[in-house]
Chain A
Amino acid sequence: MTVSSNSMPGASEKKAPSRSSRFWAWLIFILSAAYFLVPLGATFYWSLKAEKDILGFEAYKRLFADSNFLPAFSQSVVNAAAAIFLSLLIIVPTAYWVTLRLPKLRPVVEFITLLPFVIPAVVLVFGLIRLYSRPPLLWTATYESSRVLLICVYAALSFPYMFRSVDNGLRAIDVRSLTEAAQSLGANWVTILFRVIFPNLRVALLSGALLTFAIVIGELTIALYMAQHTLGPYMADLTRSKVYEPSAMAIVSFSVTWMAMGVIQLITGGQGQATGGH
């Protein structure tokens, strides 16, 4: 109860309930932090034990030395980037148009974007394989065309997150007035989207992009069934054959995601949409 020393004399009676609620708040915070940090710490500790009797980064060295790791990793990053791009291209104009012109369609669009949550990945992937492995839509014939299909699927998987982020972002700005102001100043739709709407959605777009990135980097089921050499299948394979490297791998992929979050904080200056970050 270290907090008690801060409370003012005379206010103690009033502070009493808040002190105990603060205690519970802290307890819950510590417990949930532990729930999250203990396994992470244990994983990190395990990943350092690759060499007998000493702690070191041997597992990491082996991981990066593995000729399959970097290709799988870079493939996943490229897939994620492509999926983010595709998702933005579809979701931003859709959400913008729904907000501006078709507000009655919002529930319908919201439902459609939620579909990836409703359909389990296994069902989704078998449906995809059935649909796209025969003419006229023969997309699974080569590795590269399967990869394009996979990116499209990832874009679809990101819809629930992307639509919600973008929709929140659009609600935070006065889309209609900004659009009309830009129009009356002579701007066309492309200019309005790229000069007015996109920049003001920066934070929303980044958070949507980050979530998409996190999903794609770790995705296993679909990539596995579509025989793609991405990070998910690589990690699963590693778990079966190695002892310390999977832990090192988990830490690496975690760090990448956290670094992405840090980058977002840097870009946005932690101040939300208002600053524009110039």
Chain B
Amino acid sequence: MAYLTLSGISKQFSDSYVVKDFSLEIEKGEFVSFLGPSGCGKTTTLRMVAGFESPTTGNITLDGVDITDSPPNKRNVGMIFQSYALFPNMTVAQNVAFGLRVRRETASNIKQRVEEMISLIHLEEHAHKFPYQLSGGQQRRVSLARALAIQPHVLLLDEPLSALDAKIRVSLRSEIRAIQRKLGITAIFVTHDQEEALSISDRIVVMNAGLIEQVGTPFEVYNFPQTQFVANFVGSLNNAAAEVLDPARGLLNLDGIQLITASDIQSKKKGDKVRISVRPERFSFADVQRKDNVLDCTIENITFLGSVVRIQVKIGNTKFNMDTFNNPFLELPKIGDREQVSCSKEAVLVLDE
């Protein structure tokens, strides 16, 4: 049995569902992200695990115990808030000690545990400072230490990296992941940033409008999106309208150009309209002879993005972006050139709406 189980969770506010029929099993030590746009119900789900909201229907069990109706202060769940939520009247050490004091641990235990936690987040020199004397990144780390000090069953992180600048965000992200691995703690991470979710998680739960769209490893979610929403939300994507030519062989017609797809379109009929999706990095100029799809195109635009060069090509009447890695010896085509691009049949996705 899974360590944390959410079964059939729904949350209704007046007559609208914020979360609907959410079921998920999380193993001990797993790092799971809830990914979705704002208002998709990811934070509400997290708050139901924390006990700040109670589900309208469904059950939550943690380590074999049903915690659906237990109050937040009895769940032993650590939470990191979007706002830092550090106690402004207490020093770093006092903040970290708070949960232990509440539990009436002995003074020597508290002292030892606080020292342990503060060295874990490398803030030894700041232990006696107040939150307002720390930077945003340091405050995040204190809230992490405070949540971990009580040795929670589950660590919940509600967009913990928002409102930080890009560099700190990336370094703190790997720090959180490293600490989570080191302690083997089960964690749920809520974010709307797909890059964050892809880089930090064991598994990602992609949510939209209160429903789970897909659950999978970052690799699966990115490479094998099951729905149009997931494909569009995670990573960037080219979309185009096409027509089915031969369902059995996976042949499609895009503005009079024939394409082959590896997606299962057996259920479609000849002449059905479908939407195809192709990731920009799946196109290439190279290996034209070995690929399934070789397409004539015109170069429309070239954008230099640093590590990547994004080239807009026009295939038939549709514009596609293709990404190619930058290197100093890259020979780029010129705008208006006629070229051929290729992609494999696996790159051409036909997804459910």
Binding site for B on A (CB under 8 A): 173-174, 177-178, 180-188, 191, 195-196, 199-200, 202, 273-276, 278
16 A-B residue contacts at CB 8 Å?
A174-B85, A178-B87, A181-B81, A181-B146, A183-B52, A184-B50, A184-B73, A184-B77, A185-B98, A186-B99, A187-B102, A188-B73, A196-B87, A196-B89, A200-B89, A274-B132
* B234 on the A face (CB < 8 A): no
**Residues of chain B within 8 A of A202, CB atoms compared:** 89
* B130 on the A face (CB < 8 A): yes
* B123 on the A face (CB < 8 A): no
- Contact partner of B79 (CB less than 8 A), chosen from A178, A180, A200, is A180
**Residues of chain A within 8 A of B147, CB atoms compared:** 184-185
Q: Let me know if A177 and B87 touch, CB within 8 A.
A: no
**Residues of chain A within 8 A of B146, CB atoms compared:** 181, 185
Q: Let me know if A200 and B88 touch, CB within 8 A.
A: yes
> Chain B: which residue is nearest A174 at the CB level?
B83
Majority-rule SS of B interface residues? loop
> Chain B: which residue is nearest A173 at the CB level?
B88
Given A185-B73, A276-B89, 14 other A-B residues pairs in contact with their CB atoms under 8 A: A180-B85, A181-B86, A183-B51, A184-B75, A184-B147, A185-B102, A185-B146, A186-B74, A186-B76, A186-B99, A186-B150, A191-B102, A196-B89, A200-B89
Q: Let me know if B89 and A199 touch, CB within 8 A.
A: yes
Across chains A and B, which 9 residue pairs bring their CB atoms closest together, nearest first? A185-B99, A177-B85, A276-B89, A199-B89, A181-B85, A184-B79, A183-B72, A274-B132, A186-B102
Q: Let me know if A182 and B98 touch, CB within 8 A.
A: yes
Q: How distant is the Cα of A40 from the Cα of B98 in the complex, in angstroms?
A: 50
**Residues of chain A within 8 A of B290, CB atoms compared:** none
* B167 on the A face (CB < 8 A): no
Given contacts A185-B150, A186-B103, A275-B130, contact A177 B83 (CB under 8 A): yes
Q: How distant is the Cα of A274 from the Cα of B90 in the complex, in angstroms?
A: 10
Q: How distant is the Cα of A273 from the Cα of B88 in the complex, in angstroms?
A: 8
A177, A182, A184, A186 interface centre (most CB from chain B within 10 Å)? A184
Chain A nearest CB: distance from B231 CB in Å? 35
* B78 on the A face (CB < 8 A): yes
> Chain A: which residue is nearest B79 at the CB level?
A184
> Chain B: which residue is nearest A198 at the CB level?
B89
Q: Let me know if B87 and A200 touch, CB within 8 A.
A: yes
Chain A nearest CB: distance from B190 CB in Å? 14
> Chain B: which residue is nearest A183 at the CB level?
B72
* A-contact 0/1 string along B55-89, CB 8 Å cutoff: 00000000000000001111111110101011111
**Residues of chain A within 8 A of B88, CB atoms compared:** 173, 200, 273-274, 276
**Residues of chain A within 8 A of B73, CB atoms compared:** 183-188
**Residues of chain A within 8 A of B76, CB atoms compared:** 186
Chain A nearest CB: distance from B245 CB in Å? 57
In chain B, positions 234-248 with a C-beta closer than 8 Å to chain A are: none
- Contact partner of A274 (CB less than 8 A), chosen from B74, B78, B130, is B130
Q: How distant is the Cα of A19 from the Cα of B76 in the complex, in angstroms?
A: 62
**Residues of chain B within 8 A of A178, CB atoms compared:** 85, 87
**Residues of chain B within 8 A of A191, CB atoms compared:** 102
Chain B nearest CB: distance from A166 CB in Å? 16
Chain A nearest CB: distance from B290 CB in Å? 56
**Residues of chain B within 8 A of A186, CB atoms compared:** 73-74, 76, 99, 102-103, 150
- Contact partner of A184 (CB less than 8 A), chosen from B72, B83, B87, B91, is B72
Chain B nearest CB: distance from A117 CB in Å? 32
Chain A nearest CB: distance from B121 CB in Å? 16
- Contact partner of A180 (CB less than 8 A), chosen from B81, B103, B143, is B81
> Chain A: which residue is nearest B50 at the CB level?
A184
Q: How distant is the Cα of A183 from the Cα of B70 in the complex, in angstroms?
A: 12
Q: How distant is the Cα of A185 from the Cα of B51 in the complex, in angstroms?
A: 12
Q: How distant is the Cα of A263 from the Cα of B227 in the complex, in angstroms?
A: 66
Given contacts A184-B147, A274-B130, contact A177 B81 (CB under 8 A): yes
